[in-house]
Structure formats: structure tokens, C-alpha cells
Amino acid sequence: MAYPDFNMRSKILSVIILCVGIGITWISCMHHDDSKEPGLPDVVSYNFHIRPILSDKCFKCHGPDVSKQKADLRLDYAK
């Protein structure tokens, strides 16, 4: 038999395509640049780092609007 049958060639081609796909994925993961992601600051500022999170996520339910307050927790003044 000079040539493998069609089914065998199909399996070999599938394995080659799979290996090439894995190789491309591996190479793209190896060249990922983490320098674009922000790191932790040396000094944490309440007004710059924490207050924006509280105002975006918490004040709408725990702020001065009495009709929207939940769990009797207010963050707009100190008790």
C-alpha cells in the first residue's frame, strides 16, 4: 500500500491542525504584556481611591436618600 487510506490521512491532518492551534495559543500566551495592567499604589488616598468606589457602589442604597436606604446603614455621616 503506497498511500495511507483517506481515513488515516484525515486523522493525521486533524492532529497536525490541533498541534498548530495549540502552538499558536501557547505563543500568544507567552507574549502577553502585563505592564498595561495597573498595579497597587504606594500610598492609598481615601478621596482618590476609596471614595469613588463608595459613591459608585454604596451611596445609592446607604446614602442620604431615606426612601432608598437599606439595612439601616448610612455611609454619608459618622455615627
Mean pLDDT over 41-70 rounds to 84
Grid coordinates belonging to 43: 500610598
In eight-state DSSP terms, residue 31 is T
Grid coordinates belonging to 54: 463608595
pLDDT digits (tens, 9 = 90+) for 22-48: 888 888 777 666 566 667 778 889 888
Query: What is the C-alpha radius of gyration for the chain, rounded to an integer number of angstroms?
Result: 29
Give the whole-number percent of the chain exceeding pLDDT 70: 80
